[in-house]
A and B are shown apart, each in its own frame.
Chain A
Amino acid sequence: MTCLPGHTEKKLGLAIDLDTCVGCHACVTACKGWNDQGYGVPLTDQDAYGADPSGVFLNRVHSYQVQPETGAAQVINFPRSCLHCEDAPCVTVCPTGASYKRVEDGIVLVNESDCIGCGLCAWACPYGAREMDAEAGVMKKCTLCVDRIYNENLPEEDREPACVRTCPTGARHFGDFADPDSKVSQLAAKRGGFDLMPDMGTKPTNKYLAPRPKDRRNEASLLAPLLDIEATGFAGWLDRVLGKI
């Protein structure tokens, strides 16, 4: 399955709004919680209560500072998970076929029972979207919650990724980028959705929505005092404000 499908019927993915993400990590633990008991083996932790804890997460939230040429520095929170690339290098490098991109919806998955845990796909992914499970020795990655989005045991409204469902600010949007009318396509078009490292040639499906410009100088006119209070005194101001002159 290592060859990429020439075409996928849908391009399911996420639009992540960097203008709205407050960096709360809710999507991080919601993802861990769902996937710990969902598709594939659990996402294990090592030395969980020890001096050097570590574990597998399919979604991580970074926080960057950006110093513009003038003005105050900004902080931008930045969730990072699999982008379900169209030209996914993680898939083509896989020797076993465990990594594949689904024809019907473009989701990139690992078939864990075929995975030998060679780690090559993680090397090939420019985005750090794959983490090997140290216990099971298989590669874990965002499944786009493939076991939720079609899950007939879930109510219709819950058939969306766990991270999207939990995001308190609504900064994560799920949908089909192949459909230009979908919410995610519209958002990407309207809000300058961009690709990460486009030169890597991976053609990510997920889009990041740009932060809106910040700290704009006030364009509105400043408040003009009613009159020169120092000259006219408080009584003058009072008369004026209460409409007595």
Chain B
Amino acid sequence: MAQPKIDTSPKVSDEVRQTTCYMCACRCGINVHLKSGKVSYIEGNRAHPVNKGVLCAKGASGIRQVNAPSRLRAPLRRVGPRGSGAFEEISWDEALGLAVEWLGPLRDTAPEKLAFFTGRDQSQSLTSFWAQNYGTPNYAAHGGFCSVNMAAGGIYTVGGAFWEFGQPDWERTKMFVLFGVAEDHDSNPIKMGLGRLKARGAKVVGVNPIRSGYNAVADDWFGVTPGADGLLILSLIHCLLAAGKVDLDYLARFTNAPLLVRSDEGAEKGLFLRDADGKALVMSGGALVPFDRAGVRPDLGAVYEGHRTVFQHMAERYLSPDYAPEAVAARVGIDASRIRALAADLARVAFDEAIEIAQPWVDFRGDRHDKMIGRPVSFHAMRGISAHSNGFQTARALHLLQVVLGTVETPGGYRFKPPYPKPAEAHPAPHCKVTPGKPLDGPHLGYPRGPEHLCLDASGNPARIDKAFSWENPLSAHGVMHMVIANAHAGDPYKIDTLFLYMANMAWNSSMNTAQVMEMLTDKGEDGEYVIPRIIYSDAYASEMVAYADLILPDTTYLERHDCISLLDRPISEPDAAGDSIRWPVIEPDRDVRGFQSVLIDLGARLGLPGFVTPEGAPLYRDYGDYITNHQRRPGVGPLMGFRGDGSEEGRGAPNPDQLQRYIDNGAFYQAHVPEGADFYKPWNKAYQDWAVKIGLYDAPQPYLFSIYSEPMRKFQLAAEGFGTRQPPEAARARLKQAMDPLPVWYAPFGDDAASYPVHALTQRPMAMYHSWGSQNAWLRQIHGYNPLYVPTKIWQANGFAEGDWAKVTSPNGEIVVPVAHMAALNEHTVWTWNAIGKRKGTWGLDPDAPEATKGFLLNHLISELLPAKGDGMRWSNSDPVTGQAAWFDLRVRIEKVDAPTQAQPVFPALDLKGVQV
């Protein structure tokens, strides 16, 4: 028999449309293949700067996201009690009319009674603009429960952090150290970067209690005890300092190490010595001069009238034997010899294997350098560090480590992505001044430079419902989303009327203390009304949160709408190029749903909000596509930077009616390339600064020094010490003094009741699942249909666990009963599970007996949003005291073997959402 003849060149599809993926915030470019107008296949766009053709498991199964049976069908008005899932379908006119009926009068009387919080956002520049024009101070996105520690720690230290802020120089780095990352927002770039390092045989080091995923491929693994990274990092700095293996030239020129710290007692103690113009001073050649003068050679060892340099303060602190590896080893869970070996490796690669690029450049002082020296060690970190109550300081410590090694913005090290570098001073400060019927006095979120920027009312109480920018968490740059429902329910600091949520599953996996949150959402006051009177929610799918809202504004899926990944927001830049991108409707929705951004613009127009209506009161924009094209934030600067004006202008230029089409033709993205010679040393490189101004990233050059020592933090410390007019409440002073240390410190995470709850409990993101929404994907749910609790060998044996066993896991906040599995490559005091696999019965278009609901579970039931009462009688929120970042990973538990129940506990009654989905 002859071998069959097969067609090896079948036609792939009728048409390919290029847009941007959205099963996570990585924003890869995709080619959507269509057959007969239906999506038939999705692959990566090779020309796209983010993913260069690759896709992750979620991106490659996007077709199952677009066709999921859980998609919402039409606008909904609640008809049964909250949480029952009883809705009636209404028209868009009715839905928007209802929203206007609720929100219009509120704006004219008390706009702060609207709390508008957005979750898995990629359109903050629009949503914040809307909220600002509405006039409520109560706006934020999900960053507060996500990774604000990492973002703010980076911004306050070097003017950028990881992911959208910057990344390792994957091409040149020779040693890469990863702290606590399972997947990250930068999913594909990190994987691609790891692949490149591996192909070159470069060294990868993983610091993580759990050795899976990226840590599985690491050449060296450090199974750190959760919450102890700060101590580990400061110990590495100790070793480097003791050996003199720090980049002195770099520290002197580009950081605030040579600035003089005032030693005179009083309100300015610990602030920088400044001249009359407010310029910080350094000693150079024996003279006291502003730091940025041409020819200045700052002296790190200077003392001026008793004021010593930051360098000396820093060195003295970290040279202390308290930071010696031997002193920290037990707490960190890593042998002293391994800590020393890691420090030695870092020093060897940074200094002995330094690289040089023959590229001259001129710095902000006007000094010419004839080459670029690279220190090819790089780092990356995310929530493993962020999601602890000492995360801000730990993030600062990590940046300090990079800085003393001289790797930031040098070849082979860590590189910023435009619009970063951008130090705290270049960001807005937060605004909270409410005037009924008028916009807020400025943007909600920002980076406070001192107590003067806190959002407090006249009597010193928090002005925001989430208590962001209050003494509890002064630098809460992203807001404190995980406290919104609890505070609104408690009426602390005040009661609100309408909670408006977008794309956040707050009744389930993004809440702490989930069971109680569901109660808060359904709780009624004595008047029989809900304590949180109105809830508006936009989701695309039948999530748990849907059941708790009064009005649902159903969104499209990601292939059915416009989105804008903007330089005004979180762009898709690379170190070598500023970049932005769009999504556009590559298919039309087959249901009565609308893109949320367009709905928000419509709502803005109906409410007559400035920025959304013409002077005559007519809608300013047809829809979001129209807004993307025509909105201007500053003259000539709009949501998209590419193809402006006549189509040839970049960054700045008049709106171009063809702009969206040009993007579509270009693969849905645009890049403005950093010119040669401007690509390293960006914060100080004249060539870069000038380019950034040219394309509209800044309006004037803004070189700055890295903040080893943070003056803004010192200002809060001074307030805690009693200086200044804005004073913290007594109960907050001690905590502020400790937390706002201007040099990175380590303190044990809060809520650490080691005696009764000896085991750390963590979650990790599965690479093939996105929070709660991967489960509605028929392919992905076959990979992760339920989650066991992984238990290290010691605990496994001590409990006599065997495969198939179940355990009761108890925290101060409650208990769960869940299946266990053994994992050997795990910190011996740590258990963990995959995040957000567990589902409430009846949600997500799944059978109520789906494994996600019978065996899957959440750790969230064990996590409290408030810490247990301490001596001061206060219940502080379970957050970082600097930023308010939710401390998900401070959780400690007790674990014991129990008989297998029929289902994972607790079990909540099924939600009936059958009626709302397609």
Contact = CB atoms under 8 A, between A and B. Distances in A.
A74 B825 contact: yes
A72 B846 contact: no
A230 B321 CA distance: 9
Contact of B845 (A49, A149, A162, A242): A49
Contact of A22 (B69, B194, B337, B851): B194
Interface in A83-125: 97, 100, 102-103, 109, 111, 114
A147 to B, nearest CB: 5
A111 B10 contact: no
Contacts of B785: 53
B240 interface: yes
Interface stretch (B94-102, B751-759, B773-781): B773-781
B344 A218 contact: yes
Interface string B20-45: 00000000000000010000111110
Contact of A29 (B54, B61, B316, B348): B61
B216 A33 contact: no
B212 A49 contact: no
**For B2, B10, B337, B342, which residue has the most chain A Cβ atoms within 10 angstroms?**
B10
A170 B192 contact: yes
Nearest to B769: A25
B217 A19 contact: yes
B10 A1 contact: no
Chain B interface helix/strand/loop/mixed = mixed
> Contact size class for B?
35 or more
A23 interface: yes
A218 B356 CA distance: 26
B219 A169 contact: no
A48 B340 contact: no
Interface stretch (A134-142, A174-182, A198-206, A219-227): A219-227
A153 interface: yes
B242 interface: yes
Nearest to A32: B779
Contact of A168 (B56, B239, B316, B342): B56
Contacts of A158: 46
A23 B767 contact: yes
B43 A162 contact: yes
A234 B319 contact: yes
Given A49-B850, A147-B10, A218-B341, A22 B216 contact: yes
Interface in B728-750: none
B191 A223 contact: no
A38 B55 contact: no
A32 to B, nearest CB: 6
B44 A28 contact: no
B53 interface: yes
B8 A151 contact: yes
B283 to A, nearest CB: 12
A163 to B, nearest CB: 9
B244 interface: yes
B9 A152 contact: yes
B1 interface: yes
A1 B1 CA distance: 6
Contact of A170 (B1, B11, B195): B195
A168 B191 CA distance: 5
Given A22-B214, A147-B7, A33 B191 contact: no
A25 B242 CA distance: 44
**For B44, B217, B241, B846, which residue has the most chain A Cβ atoms within 10 angstroms?**
B217
Contacts of A72: 211, 221, 223, 825
A194 interface: no
A21 B217 contact: yes
A30 B217 CA distance: 22
B298 to A, nearest CB: 12
Nearest to A50: B847
Interface in B843-864: 845-847, 849-851, 854
B42 A67 contact: no
Closest A-B pairs by Cβ, 6 of them: A73-B824, A218-B341, A168-B191, A169-B195, A75-B216, A48-B778
Interface of B: 1-4, 6-12, 35, 40-44, 46, 51, 53-61, 63, 69, 187-188, 191-192, 194-196, 198-199, 201, 211-221, 223, 239-246, 248, 300-301, 312, 315-316, 319, 321, 337-338, 340-345, 347-348, 767-768, 776, 778-783, 785, 793, 823-826, 845-847, 849-851, 854
25 contacts: A33-B42, A33-B43, A34-B41, A34-B43, A51-B847, A53-B778, A55-B782, A65-B825, A77-B216, A100-B4, A147-B10, A153-B11, A165-B54, A166-B53, A168-B51, A218-B344, A221-B344, A223-B240, A223-B242, A223-B347, A225-B243, A226-B242, A237-B315, A239-B301, A241-B244
Given A166-B44, A223-B245, 8 more contacts: A28-B57, A63-B212, A154-B12, A166-B55, A168-B51, A170-B198, A214-B220, A223-B340
